[in-house]
Amino acid sequence: MTQITIGQLVDFLKLESDSFSHSDIVNVKFSDYSPYFCEAISILKQNLNCVKLLTLDEGFNDYHLWYVSELFNNLQYLRLNLPTSNRNNVISDDGLFLLLSRLSKLEALILSNIETVRFKRSFCALSSLQNLTSLVLECIEISKKEFNVVLSEIGSKLERLTVSNIRALPDATYFLQIVFLLCTKLKFLLFNFVESKVEDLVLFNIPTLAQLSLYLDKCVLNESSNKLVNVESLQLVLKNSTDAQIAHFLSFCPAIKCLALNATFTLEDSQQTLSALKNLIHLEKIEFLSCECLDTIIQIIISNPKCQISLRQELDIENSLKFFDLIYASEKSFEIVVEGSKSLDLPLPPNLK
C-alpha cells in the first residue's frame, strides 16, 4: 500500500487498521467530502509517521484547511480542488492564505478550478514558501495582475510550471511571454491555453528547460526569438497554426529527442514541417497525438527511419493494415507503437508463410 484514499463514507475500523499497519505511508487522498473529515484526519495524524503528500478533491472549506494546517504543517505536496458551486463548502482567499502561510516546507502545489481574482492574498503568500519549486494552476479564470504577482514573487525559483485555462483569451500572449521572462530556472513547462492564440511571442532561452508542452490554437513567433537549445522533449499541439508556423517553431528547438505532434495536415500541406523534422538530427521518437492524416504520418515515418513512432489514437482495421503494408513494403526497419489499437490477425508476408 502506497496511498490511503478516503471517500465520503469512512470505515473507521479499516482506516485505523490500515494506517496503523502501514505507518510509513506518506501519501493521503480525500477523493470526496466527508462529514467525518476531522475524525479521519485525526486518526491519520495519530498513526502515520509523516504525511508529506495530501490531495483534497471535492467539497472542502476553510475549516478543513485550518485543520490540515494544524495537523500536517510538514506537507511537501498539496493538491487542492477549489469548489465553486456549493455555498456550504467554499474556500475563501483568507482560508487558503492561512493554509499556505503555515506550510513552510511545501515543495509542490496544485490548485484546480481556480479563479485567480478571488485569491489575491493567497498568491502573495506563495512568496513565503521558500522550498516551492513546482506549481500547477488549473484555471477557470486567470487575470494578468494576479498571474504577474505570482511569477514576480516565485517565478525565479520554479523548476516546474503548469498553467491551463479553459477559455479563449484575446491576450494569451502576455501569459506565456511573462513565463519566459520571469521563470529563468524552469526544467518543465506545460502551457495549455488550447482555445487561445499566441502571436508575436519572443522566446528567451531558459538554460535548464528540457521539457516543453504547448497546447494552443495558434502560436506565431517573433523573428527575434532565441533558440531553446536545451529542450529535448517537446509536445506541440497547435490546432490552427499553418505548416510554416509549425516548421518555424521546430527550427527554434534544435536539440529535440522526443516530439509529440497533432497530425492534422494533409501531405500536400505539410512539406515545410517534413523538412523541419529532417533537420532535427537528435530526434529519436515521434508521437502522434491524433491521426487525422495518415498519409502525412506515413511520409514522416519514411523520412525518419531511425525514429520510434508512437500513435496515441486508436486505428481501425483498414488503417492498421495500411501501416502493416508500409512496414512490409519498405526495406527499412521501424519501431511503431500503436496505443489503444485492437489486436489484429494480420496475414503473414509471402516469404514467411
Is residue 345 predicted with pLDDT exceeding 80? Answer: no
The more confidently predicted of residues 211 and 2 is: 211
Is residue 346 predicted with pLDDT exceeding 70? Answer: no
Domains of the chain: residue spans and CATH: 1-158 (3.80.10.10)
- Whole-structure pTM value: 0.89
* Contacts of 71 by beta carbon, 8 Å cutoff, 6+ apart: 41, 42, 45
Q: What is the pLDDT of the chain when averaged over all its residues?
A: 87
Q: What is the DSSP string of 221-255?
A: E-TTPPP-TT--EEEEEETT--HHHHHHHHTT-TT
Closest CA to 124 of 158, 148, 156: 148
Residue carrying the nine cell digits 519549486: 133
CA angle 138, 188, 166 (to 5 degrees): 25
Over residues 49-63, the pLDDT tens digits come to: 999 999 998 788 899
For residue 140, what pLDDT is reported?
Answer: 79
Which of 150-159, 238-247, 273-282, 328-337 shows the lowest per-residue confidence on average (mean pLDDT)?
328-337
| pLDDT tier for residue 100 given thresholds of 50, 70 and 90 | very high
How confident is the model over 300-307, as a mean pLDDT?
80
| pLDDT tier for residue 326 given thresholds of 50, 70 and 90 | low
Is residue 340 predicted with pLDDT exceeding 60? Answer: no
Q: 175 is written with which cell numbers? A: 501569459
Over residues 116-134, the pLDDT tens digits come to: 888 889 988 988 899 999 9
Helices (H), the chain: 12-21, 37-47, 62-71, 93-102, 120-125, 144-154, 172-182, 243-250, 271-278, 294-303, 317-329
For residue 9, what pLDDT is reported?
Answer: 87
Q: What is the DSSP string of 9-72?
A: S--HHHHHHHHHHTTT--EEEE-S--TTHHHHHHHHHHH-S---EEEE-SS--HHHHHHHHHH-
